[in-house]
Amino acid sequence: MKILVADRISPAGVENLREQEDFEVVEAYGSSPEEILGLAVDAAAIIVRSETKVTAEVLAAAKNLKVVGRAGVGVDNIDVEAATEAGVIVMNTPSGNTIATAELTFTHMLCGTRPVVRGACGMREGKWERKELKGAELRGKTLAVLGLGRIGAEVAKRAKAFEMEVIAYDPYLTEARAKELEVEKVEADDAFARADYLTVHMPKTEETRGMVDEAAFAKMKDGVRVFNCARGGIIKESALAEALRSGKVAAAGLDVYETEPLPEDHEFRSIENLNLTPHLGASTKEAQDSVGV
């Protein structure tokens, strides 16, 4: 049985596969779409992270395919509809990178509150901008969490530890779960209007694509801070860029983008009050071991 490991996962995970006597494990990291298409023809299983796209074309070519495993949460790089039609199971590892992504979100929140990045860069350049780099405090601020699943819930717990007021919009959130997490369940417009901080933890679907757009920013307070470590495209990038430049948004932090890698000439790269990371949400040793094993 051929197992195609298209993206790099934990070595322990690959070793576990190799220990199965009926498995032929093929590692194909960094392969082109054309190479993946050829390698998938006789594969019984394909394992991916977020780099490799399992398209309808790949699924049609892979006549022996039984399962596609996503080492991570989002499955937007897999054509789930085509897989379902072909009788191919799509699996993910939803809890594997929960803590890593929640902690990165809080890192962005802290760096968007205190100008740590600018201060650190300035120190390397010989500057001493003590008076210029004033920040704020998290305590007493309202955090709006869009999506209170595993990651959103972990972010909410950490926000409560910082004595923030937490409100949440999630169409699937029950009152009982909100009470358990000590958060207030609200509608999306209320979340936009009340937030001092807003963080996105929803999957990208037709309903959530572009959800945080010009109209959403218009509802927000002046000086709001916005963060996205979920999926690119939920926040409309052009709307965020304009909101940052106008001062509507005081600071923002992003780990995900509509196009990845982020183009070298993207307007985000020139906006000073925007901290960018290259999709590091699951990039911890613990998370890699968890999603790959």
Q: Which of 63, 92, 121 is the last residue of a domain?
A: 92
Which of 92, 117, 132 is where one domain is finished? 92
| pLDDT number for residue 196 | 99
pLDDT score of 292: 79
Same domain, residue pair 149 and 256? yes
Based on the fold, state whether residues 154 and 220 are members of the same structural domain.
yes
Within-domain flag for 157: yes
**Which pTM does this prediction carry?**
0.84
85-110 average pLDDT score = 96
Report the pLDDT value the prediction gives residue 289, as an integer from 0 to 100: 87
Asked if residue 292 belongs to a domain, the reply is: no
Say which residue the tokens 């322990």 belong to: 12
Asked if 119 and 206 sit in the same domain, the reply is yes
Total number of domains in the chain: 2
Domain limits for position 86: 2-92
Tell me: pLDDT of 293 over 80: no
Is 289 contained in some domain? no
The catalytic site residues sit at: 231, 260, 279
DSSP for 90-156 reads: EEE-TTTTHHHHHHHHHHHHHHHHS-HHHHHHHHHTT---TTT------TTPEEEEE--SHHHHHHH
Identify whether residues 213 and 121 lie together within a single domain.
yes
Q: Answer for the pair 86, 70: CB distance below 8 angstroms, yes or no.
A: no
Beta strand segments in the chain, E: 2-5, 24-27, 45-48, 67-70, 89-92, 142-146, 165-169, 184-185, 197-200, 224-228, 249-254, 274-276
pLDDT in tens, 207-219: 999 999 999 999 9
pLDDT above 90: residue 90: yes
Residue 265 domain-assigned (yes or no): yes
Domain co-membership, 161 together with 86:
no
Q: Is the pLDDT of residue 285 over 80?
A: yes
